[in-house]
Amino acid sequence: MSEELDQALSRKYDAGFVSDIESETFPIGLDEGVIRRISAMKDEPEWMLEWRLRAYRNWLTMEEPDWAHVDYPKIDFQAISYYSAPKSMADKPQSLDEVDPELLRTYEKLGIPLYEQEMLAGVAVDAVFDSVSVVTTYRAKLEEAGVIFCPISEAAHRFPELIKKYLGSVVPRSDNYFAALNSAVFTDGSFVYIPKGVRCPMELSTYFRINEENTGQFERTLIIADEGSHVSYLEGCTAPQRDENQLHAAVVELVAMDDAQIKYSTVQNWYPGDENGKGGIYNFVTKRALCHTNAKVSWTQVETGSAITWKYPSCILKGDNSVGEFYSVALTRGMQQADTGTKMIHLGKNTKSTIISKGISAGRSNNSYRGLVHMGPKADGARNFTECDSLLIGDRCGAHTFPYIESRNPSAIVEHEATTSKVSEDQLFLCQQRGLDAEKAVSMIVNGFCKEVFKELPMEFAVEAGKLLEISLEGSIG
Amino acid sequence: MLKIQNLHASVEEKNILNGLNLEIKPGEVHVIMGPNGAGKSTLGYILSGREGYQVTEGKVDFMGEDLLEMKVEDRARKGLFLAFQYPVEIPGVSNMAFMKESVNAIREQRGETPLTAAEFLKKAKAASKQVQLPLDFLKRGVNEGFSGGEKKRNEIMQMILLEPTLCILDESDSGLDIDALQEVANGVNSQRDGKRSFIVITHYQRLLDYIKPDHVHILANGKVVKSGDASLALDIEKEGYVFLGQDNDEENNT
């Protein structure tokens, strides 16, 4: 069976095209001068530049972490270009009609039309291309509700007080090696502010696209949900098929004030490299949420892309009764490596967290779950439930689980369940005997395995995520 | 409809079938009995194309085509259905979604348009009623947490929905109480229309109180050693397989 499966898993990557767009790209290399130039390109206030430089100096003193269960040659940070933007964006187009049609075509090809009338009703999109935001849709409608949704570079000008107060408040500049690098060189990303008591009238989403060669993408997202507000946010990511590895080191910070709720969903489909492990994105991302009293943050991720994924969306449950959730599907195939999971830091009383992680490994890939549940001394009555399931397809892949549990409070309850299963020959045979081809059969079995997570995604995206798994597994069976 | 000639087959280099001959005409019900290890289940797997079973000699003609050359799913789409002895679970995939995919894959092969969700639901409800399986089983994962009897009924429900030309029932009666046995038999009988054929593999004569076969074959050592009508099964019930002059019970039924 494993030969059949291997063939089935040889992939097709639909988003692997390159857009022919004239870009202004910095020469490779990193020093203070590069950071000053990035800041100048964004026309940033002085305090922002200072913030970046402090991060950079910090980064220089740090060491690249090596504890993750992934293996890759050392990254040469001087071989990366830290800024690339389509030339046409230099004139700051005021409306979609002024945006380079080739850029719009890129998003159309990816299935994300940017004209509001053609879009999924009720979804606002910020489209980030290499280092800049191309367009943010539905802004007028959102502003009516008092919701701010704009590129973070613009927010630094328009809302300096909010940025000064919250940027780096959840993921400090020196938090970790890649977060420090991001703080120094971040280029664009989304900024969201939901005012007190407001339920955001539509889904917000950011679509990240890497296009240029030898560039890194370092975006930064900051979402602030003020007291009693609600927001649902989704990010999607793709990149062209290239033989070189490209670095994507993002930081996402969420602040959920008292009684606020944030739902953050990710469909990550960066180029994973070819079946021999050539090329692909290094996805080294820091995502963290701070939850105040009665707040709730829910992370849902569907990770099918990237050569290497290193990512632990986390919740600091600071306020009493706050709730953190993490629902994850990570699929690795070919030579992909994923080390992903979450951290639930229970500080407040009666805080609750739920972790549902589904790892699917195929080909010669390695898929690790790494999760920390921490119960602080004041977290009376705190509860965690973790379910961690691995599905193996074929017999040359690996699934690993690294749970860390720290409990400093005797009244806290931590539950951990884990299973490992295989797509069995029996299941495959049953499906085929009922007329389904092997590819369809595997994608059905995998989708069934992921059901608990998919039901957490916003509806439009749940369908997309299912389809994405299908495409990922296409050709995996002979 | 089905013609098996001099079929030899092995599993892991062990010979299981040794020159089996069998011909089945449209509308006929053939019962296959025999001691453990005689190759009964193997026959079902070989006809449906399961991996790991090597045909070393012989040929099988199914509706004018070389069955052994066809892929598993193509055999199914051409109308060959196997009701499993031990139906496997597929967690998280709803029975309904699974069967709809399956029905539509087979309809596509026949050049028919796929059923809409509403059309399918109507058929599925009727089929589940026929085998006395409560409706909520349609929503549950395929065989997920079903009892043995529920799994077997679920198989018969799928058979009804897929409208196959040749049904192979691999011990669909084993492990059933008398009520479940009757329901399974009723499901089968309701599908007898003079064209559809059946191969019923069983250990027990009692199933034949409900399903009236046209032919009964005794399989031993990988070939048909005796054929007759329903009365042959009664003889076996009384006298066992002693006439074979050997004891096959040592071997496991694969």
Question: Are the CB atoms for A323 and A350 separated by under 8 Å?
Answer: no
Tokens matching residue B66: 């070389």
Q: Name the nearest CA neighbour of B62 among B50, B51, B41, B46.
A: B46
pLDDT category, A209, cuts 50, 70, 90? confident
Q: Please name the residue that has the structure tokens 């299941």.
A: A427
Could you tell me if residue A284 is left (phi over 0), alpha (psi between -120 and 50 degrees) or otherwise beta? beta
Compare all CA atoms of chain B with the CA of A421 and give the residue at the minimum distance.
B91
Question: Are the CB atoms for A219 and A208 separated by under 8 Å?
Answer: yes
DSSP string, A276-332: TS-SEEEEEEEEEEEE-TT-EEEEEEEE---SEEEE--EEEE-STT-EEEEEEEEEE
Note whether A435 contacts B76, CB cutoff 8 Å: yes
Question: Are the CB atoms for A349 and A378 separated by under 8 Å?
Answer: yes
Tokens matching residue B92: 């998280």
- List, for residues A319-346, the tens digit of each pLDDT value: 999 999 999 988 888 888 989 999 999 9
* ipTM of this predicted structure: 0.92
pLDDT category, B248, cuts 50, 70, 90? very low
DSSP string, A123-147: EEEEEEETTEEEEETTHHHHHHTT-
Report the gap between the CA of A304 and the closest CA in chain B (Å).
20
pLDDT category, A438, cuts 50, 70, 90? confident
Q: In 3-state terms, what secondary structure has residue A289?
A: strand
Note whether A448 contacts B91, CB cutoff 8 Å: yes
Task: Name the phi and psi angles at A139, rounded to 5.
Answer: -65, -40
Note whether B102 contacts A436, CB cutoff 8 Å: yes
Cβ neighbours of A436 in B, within 8 Å = 73, 101-102, 105
Is residue B206 scored above 80 in pLDDT? yes
Residue to mutate among A434, A437, A450, A463, with most B CBs inside 10 A, is: A434
Give the integer Cα–Cα distance in Å for B249 and A460.
Answer: 57
- List, for residues A384-395, the tens digit of each pLDDT value: 999 999 988 888
Question: Would you call B165 an interface residue with chain A, using a CB distance cutoff of 8 Å?
Answer: no
Q: Name the nearest CA neighbour of B254 among B8, B18, B41.
A: B41
Half-sphere exposure at residue A358, Cβ-oriented, CA atoms within 13 angstroms: 22
Cβ neighbours of B72 in A, within 8 Å = 429, 432-433
Report the gap between the CA of A300 and the closest CA in chain B (Å).
18
pLDDT category, A109, cuts 50, 70, 90? confident
DSSP B203: S
Give the integer Cα–Cα distance in Å for B41 and B47.
Answer: 10
Q: What is the pTM of this model?
A: 0.82
Question: Would you call B9 an interface residue with chain A, using a CB distance cutoff of 8 Å?
Answer: no
Note whether A435 contacts B158, CB cutoff 8 Å: no
SS3 content of chain B, % helix, strand, coil (to 5): 40, 30, 35
Is residue A2 scored above 70 in pLDDT? no
Q: In 3-state terms, what secondary structure has residue B86?
A: coil
Tokens matching residue A386: 């973790």
DSSP A40: H
> What's the burial of B134, exposed, middle or buried (CB within 10 Å: 0-12/13-18/19+)?
exposed
- List, for residues A253-263, the tens digit of each pLDDT value: 999 999 999 99
Is residue A132 scored above 90 in pLDDT? no
Over the Cα atoms of chain B, what is R_g? 18
Compare all CA atoms of chain B with the CA of A423 and give the residue at the minimum distance.
B90
| CA B18 from centre of chain | 21
Cβ neighbours of A433 in B, within 8 Å = 48, 72-73, 76, 81-82, 84
Report the gap between the CA of B214 and the closest CA in chain A (Å).
26
Q: In 3-state terms, what secondary structure has residue A144?
A: helix
Alpha carbon separation from A28 to A55, A285, A433 (Å, rounded): 20, 21, 56
Share above pLDDT 90 across residues of chain A, in percent, rounded to a whole number: 43
Residues in chain B: 254
Half-sphere exposure at residue A299, Cβ-oriented, CA atoms within 13 angstroms: 31
pLDDT category, A230, cuts 50, 70, 90? very high
Q: In 3-state terms, what secondary structure has residue A367?
A: strand
pLDDT category, B47, cuts 50, 70, 90? very high
Over the Cα atoms of chain A, what is R_g? 22
Residue to mutate among A422, A424, A431, A449, with most B CBs inside 10 A, is: A431
- List, for residues B76-119, the tens digit of each pLDDT value: 999 999 999 999 999 889 999 999 999 999 999 889 999 998 89
User: Average pLDDT of chain A?
Assistant: 85
Question: Are the CB atoms for A245 and A215 separated by under 8 Å?
Answer: no
Q: Name the nearest CA neighbour of A205 among A120, A285, A282, A277.
A: A120
Lowest-pLDDT range, A455-464, B9-18, B170-179?
A455-464
The angle formed by the CA atoms of residues B83, B89 and B91, to the nearest 5 degrees, is 145
